[in-house]
Amino acid sequence: MELLHLVATPRTNGSNTLRISKVFIEGLRKKYPELKITTLDLFQTEIPAMAGDKIETKYLIMQGGNLKENFTATWTEIESFIGGFMRADMYLISAPMWNFTIPFVLKYYIDTIVQPSYLFKYLEDGTPVGLCDGKMVVIKTSGSDYSNPPLSYLDFHEPYLRGIFGFCGITDIHFISAYNMDITPEIREQSITSAIHDQVPGILAQL
Ligand SMILES: Cc1cc2nc3c(=O)[nH]c(=O)nc-3n(C[C@H](O)[C@H](O)[C@H](O)COP(=O)(O)O)c2cc1C
């Protein structure tokens, strides 16, 4: 069994999100000693851009073109990222909130891997069908608290990830959320401790 861990924070030391992720991974290792963990640090990885001949190929695939004749060498780069994603049985995303949504590198990665006929397809009547499965856990931290009004409407992070991965067939998604990271050090510690003790065990039990 393989877990793909997508790291979407550049703060290797002192990352709030990675502190919680570390405890979660330790718990997962205890539960599944054979688990293979592949880490993809998105801030340290050169991700191919959906531009140039790659965007041409994407449209060709979407419009039912002949893949073999028009397949460009650069598309194999995209396929290797898709393959890395599809191979996993379980997913962990460590992503702080940046400007009410996910950090740009995670969006960039999603733009690279979410391709028709790989992660989803359309039926003849246009209905989209997800081609992925597996369980996903998202560890999310933010400076403020979005769990209730008046700020809850500004949380585009959780709905977006549920939306895009649900569209691709991954509907079993759990969020571990630690709010108020940037108010005072005491409040941050309280919130991280609460995520570790009150949320992590419950999610691990469901995996
Ligand atoms: C570029 C940037 C944008 C941010 N935008 C938000 C935001 O919209 N809302 C919020 O509550 N916190 C925001 N924050 C604060 C982070 O979400 C918070 O500090 C988080 O815990 C950082 O996670 P990390 O330590 O794992 O990198 C932002 C931080 C950065 C660096």
pLDDT for the residue 15: 98
Judge whether 129 lies within some domain.
yes
Judge whether 164 lies within some domain.
yes
CA of 148 to the centre of ligand 1 (A): 18
Q: Across residues 2-12, what is the average pLDDT?
A: 97
pLDDT, tens digit, 9 for 90 and up, residues 122-173: 999 999 999 999 999 999 999 999 999 999 999 999 999 999 999 999 999 9
Mutate to test the pocket of ligand 1, among 16, 23, 97, 177 (most ligand atoms within 8 A of CB): 97
- Closest to 165 in 3D by CA, of 121, 135, 142, 201: 135
- Closest to 81 in 3D by CA, of 42, 133, 120, 51: 42
Atom of ligand 1 nearest to the CA of 145: 11
Judge whether 94 lies within some domain.
yes
**Pocket lined around ligand 1, Cβ cut-off 6 Å:** 9, 11, 15-18, 96-100, 141-144, 181-182
Judge whether 68 lies within some domain.
yes
Atom of ligand 1 nearest to the CA of 141: 21
Task: Calculate the CA 150 to chain-centre distance.
Answer: 26
Domain that holds residue 127: 2-202
Judge whether 121 lies within some domain.
yes
The domain tally of the chain equals 1
pTM score: 0.96
The CATH number of whichever domain residue 135 belongs to comes to: 3.40.50.360
At which residue do the structure tokens 């941050």 appear? 188
The answer to whether the CB of 167 falls within 8 A of the CB of 128 is yes
CA of 179 to the centre of ligand 1 (A): 10
Judge whether 78 lies within some domain.
yes
Judge whether 198 lies within some domain.
yes
Coil, strand or helix: which one is 65? Answer: coil
Judge whether 207 lies within some domain.
no
Kindly indicate the confidence band of residue 3, based on its pLDDT and cuts at 50, 70 and 90: very high
